[in-house]
Amino acid sequence: MSGPAHRLRAAILVAALLVSAAGGRALADDPAAGGSDGGTLPSGVVFAVHPDPVQTVAAVSLWYRAPAAGFEARPAPGIARLAAATVAASAPITGTPLTQLIERWGGRVSVSAYPDSVAITALVPPDRAADTVRAMTGDYFAPVATAAGLRLAQRDVGEDAIYRGLGPDGIEDALGAALFDSGPMHDGTVGTVEGIAALTLDRVRAFAARAFRPANAILVLTGNVDRAALSGVASRPGTAAGEPEGAAAQIPRAPGTPLQREGLIAGTGLGWAGPPITAEAEATAMDFVADLLFAPRTGRVPRALGTRKATATGKFVTYRNPGVFLVTITGADAAAARPIVEQAIAETTKPMSRPAFEAARAAFVYRLLSDMATPAELAETYGWYTVEGDAAYAPADGGLHGRYMTLAAALTPAAVAETAAKYLGPAPAVVVVTKRPQQQRGTRT
């Protein structure tokens, strides 16, 4: 599916944190009155509250629209994660870093960054939800970044960059440059240990000051929460100025020779520009195609690859414009696997038989629902679709009767094949990643 929990898993900071958010209509009544609702607070903060009293935890998430490589002309891949983690690890005016405070309350914090957004999430005991809202919004609406916090964040973000570089994420990052000449996806999300270590405190502070503002914030509460927790949202003079960050333009790259890159693992990436989030029916069809092809064990591609020493992953990622269909192929047999993967993709342009289609769609909906079972997953889903500009399209919204599930139920073999032919029929952008040579260590004599 299109939300980050289901296809991007972009940057889960190993140090500690989890994310999300959502929005809605302007609020006319008291935001602490109770019930499930969304709106905009006087400070400019967009919020959504989706309570589930049977849960044992509360999820509090802040999302910000901001490019992962920063706002400056000189890209700095990883700076969004680094800035968010630095603020969480720095001692604010209250004197206790957010990560330490949440840990004292029995919770944990996590940071995730995507090409055009960054999110901070805390999972806490329900009786600490309002305290967490107060602490998190206080810290991020007037962000403090210290040298000590930066050192901790650089260590953790650097370790995460290595971890992610050893999997498909690193190839997907390189694939962004094959798809686009400029824009957030071109610049990458992961970064390198060396690049992250080189980022200065001044540059991190400048990013935080621009990105972490109430008017640019989306706050989501899920799990065992209620709207009373919104009374803890910080309001500080001078912090609500400005407008939300606008959508950064993605400039497509003209088709041509595959890009060559070096990374921590070798592999091939294939990418296609897809429908924007506003093309909801087509985006839903592309989600279905990705699941049909790449679902673990049962997808067409894993079954076609059989026992070959190759791994192929694929996902459709819903962005404002355009969405993208990303495929990575790794392993000793990756070269032999590529034509098999491309053949499976080409076959989606032909309508399936009705019985096979119905079985595949039922499996798709089942996996979709199973990926939205926890407060953290729900917060991530609501946050993603809100920050991308279409909160009502979130698969979790309205359950089986919501907009997304209604569109999924309306899919037909012919419509899916037509959408696949439209977006996956053209030749893909290609990136070939070779393994970066390891630095030789000195030997003892």
Give the confidence band of 244 by pLDDT, cuts at 50, 70, 90. Answer: confident
Q: List own/partner pairs for 304-307 with CB under 8 A and 24 or more apart.
A: 304/340, 304/341, 304/343, 304/344, 305/337, 305/340, 305/341
Q: What is the pLDDT of residues 353-371, one digit of tens each?
A: 999 999 999 999 999 999 9
Residue 11 has pLDDT above 50, yes or no: no
pLDDT tier for residue 243 given thresholds of 50, 70 and 90 = confident
Tell me what pLDDT residue 444 has.
Answer: 41
pLDDT tens digits along 87-100 = 999 998 778 999 99
Q: Tell me the C-alpha distance between 258 and 6, whole Å.
A: 27
Place of tokens 């405190």: 201
Could you give the 3-state DSSP secondary structure of residue 86? Answer: helix
Judge whether residue 249 has pLDDT over 90: no
At residue 114, the 3 state secondary structure works out as: strand
Residue position matching structure tokens 């302007």: 26
Is residue 314 over pLDDT 60?
yes
Residue 272 dihedral angles phi and psi, to the nearest 5°: -130, 140
- 24 falls in which pLDDT band (50, 70, 90)? very low
Tokens of 70: 């920063």
Q: Give the C-alpha distances (Å, rounded to integers) separating 317 from 4, 50, 299.
A: 8, 24, 18
Tens of pLDDT, residue by residue over 396-429, are 887 778 999 999 999 999 999 999 999 999 999 9
Question: CB of 36 within 8 A of CB of 199?
Answer: no
**Alpha carbons 283 and 315: distance in angstroms, whole number:** 12
Residue 443, pLDDT above cutoff 50: no
Q: Is the pLDDT of residue 258 over 90?
A: yes
Residue 391 has pLDDT above 50, yes or no: yes
Task: Give yes or no for a contact between 263 and 171, defined as CB atoms under 8 angstroms apart.
Answer: yes
Cα Rg of the chain (Å, integer): 22
Task: Give me the mean pLDDT over the 66-93 stretch.
Answer: 95
The HSE-up count of residue 32 (CA atoms within 13 Å, CB side) is: 9
What percent of the chain has pLDDT above 90? 80
Per-residue confidence band for 439, with pLDDT thresholds at 50, 70 and 90: low
Per-residue pLDDT at 64 exceeds 70? yes
Give yes or no for residue 20 having a pLDDT over 80.
no
- Calpha distance 311→235 (Å, rounded): 49
Structure tokens at 413: 């073999």
Bridge partners of 429, per DSSP, are 271
pLDDT at residue 90 in the model: 98
- As to burial, measured by CB atoms within 10 angstroms (0-12 exposed, 13-18 middle, 19+ buried), residue 206 is middle
pLDDT higher than threshold 60 for residue 14:
no
Is residue 217 within 8 Å of residue 208, measured between CB atoms?
Answer: no
Average pLDDT for 207-214: 96
CA dihedral 289, 293, 298, 303 (to 10 degrees): 160
pLDDT at 236: 62
What's the rounded Cα separation, in Å, for the pair 414 and 420? 10
**Residue 185, CA distances (Å) to 3, 128, 163 in order:** 16, 36, 20
CA distances to 116, 161, 271, 290 from 192, rounded to whole Å, are: 18, 6, 22, 29
| Model pLDDT for residues 113-158, shown as the tens digit of each residue | 999 999 999 999 999 999 999 999 999 999 999 999 999 999 999 9
- Give the residue carrying structure tokens 């690049």: 195
Average per-residue pLDDT for the chain:
89
Using the predicted structure, report yes or no on whether residue 338 has a pLDDT greater than 60.
Answer: yes
DSSP 388: T
Q: For position 436, what pLDDT does the model report?
A: 87
Q: Could you give the CA distance from residue 145 to residue 142 in angstroms, rounded to a whole number? A: 10
What's the pLDDT band for 250 if we cut at 50, 70, 90?
confident
